[in-house]
Chains A and B, each alone.
Chain A
Amino acid sequence: MSDEWEDIEGHEQWQAKLEELLTEAESAARGEDDSKRFAVSRRLTDFITNSWPNDKAIKAMDEIAKRTAQDLLLQTIHERVREIAGRTAELRQLGKEFQDLADAASASASAIRLEKAHRVAKTLTDSVHLLKDLRASLDSGSDASLIRNVDKAMDTIQKLRAMVERES
């Protein structure tokens, strides 16, 4: 038991203590310091635990103390939730910003890994194989013009490959 409650005797003294706490609760409710609200809520709870004797008058005081503590705590909850909700739009925006920063960093990593050059080399190699298959299937007499074009395409690919080497 704390000293605060030790020497309180009789209804009048308990009534005076409750009035003191209610004044503090009112002041805490008007302010924005959560720690003051919690401190007075705890003292109101302690009031309920320590008030004595447990007769009708004391129980009525306990009920007032309980109601006051509860109102103070509920007010704090509603205010803090509103405060958090008030920052949500900015946090959503920051989340998107980090996603963009991540995309840019990934693009840098991809460039260092020469991913584009790898993709071009792979695509060109696949194309060469397809063109070779096509050329093999053509008739040298009737498809002479197409064969020339296929050869030209192969030549272009060779030049492209050289470019990839230079640009890598």
Chain B
Amino acid sequence: MDRRRFLSAAAAAAALARVGGVASAAQAAAKKPTPVPDGVPPSRRRLLQLNGYAANAETPLDALTSYITPNDLFFVRSHWVPQYPTLKSWSLVVDGEVEKPREWKLADLKALPRTTVTCVLQCAGNGRALHRPAVPGVQWRYGAVGNARWTGVRVKELLARSGLKPGAKHLHTFGSDKPPEKVPPFNRSLELEKVLEDGVLAFEMNGETLPAPHGAPLRLIVPGWCGDHWMKWVTRLSPQPEPQKGFYMDTAYRYPDKPGEPGVAFKPDEMHPVTELFVKSCFTDVPASVKVGAPVTVRGFAFSGAPDISRVEVSEDQGQSWKDAVLDPQHDPWAWRLFSYRFQPATPGSVMLLARATDSRGAVQPKEAVWNQSGYLFNSWHAAEIAVTA
């Protein structure tokens, strides 16, 4: 798909027209530009590279305007340079507290009943760059988030066929990526209760084969929970009585039990594992400047660890007063809600818009996120400034 878009770029097509056999396809592409069904125009189709290797790239906010985030614009987060599994040798081992441990090939999994869920994936560190004082790590701003349609097999379906024993409380997850040097492996676990209820092992993303950077052939989908639980390149699942140990459980991906003083690091026992997403909204489509008196519509998205968003409000006066934005009717549990807000700037100068969301459990996006030394779950009110010209 991205190759077709690539071909449709006018310069490349004109260039290819001079190269024999490839020319006809290129000319056809030039005459008939590939339609962009997601509505994200070519001028906005790019990622922002935060790290070349390991590959880390976020989506610019102005490309996060569609309900479904296209695969080629979906943020990529890698701990290290991954070794993508080959389908021929790949298998999924299910062992641990099960009656019937076994290896599954992808074809075996595809023969099980399928399900599709549409939900938000957000990196726990999205917004890290916005915490003050600064914290170390990939300096994600707003775009380590996307909303996609994930198709696969429910974890419940798989574990039911494995004979899950009653003593199992945590699902230990393992992927095929191997860390360099003495870096600890990215082994994780999560509460079995959550993953039995909502977890999906996905082999498709937005109707296409799951792309390699997103975990092909199989990725764990945990709707409503941060990306650190969404193991990519899954090779082993092991239900166990206790949580998994290791750096990525005991030190990383932990969040303070209660707010502290910004800049003062919390001790590990003052924190718990990051799980649910926090309620959050962002503007995506905001004009840089507008004319005074002219009506303007700004857009954005909102999501939470709760299954739905009940309200998005916008303030034009630094949070003194708030007006309701219009929520788009399109929704699935733990997917985001697109919103729009129409207003008419009355005086020239500039206007600062603020957005805050409320979720279906009543949690309200805070004015200021809780500072933590790893920079997780930033969700302060989002501000957008618009110049108003006479």
A and B associate in one complex: no
Residues of A near any B CB (own CB < 8 A)? none
Residues of B near any A CB (own CB < 8 A)? none
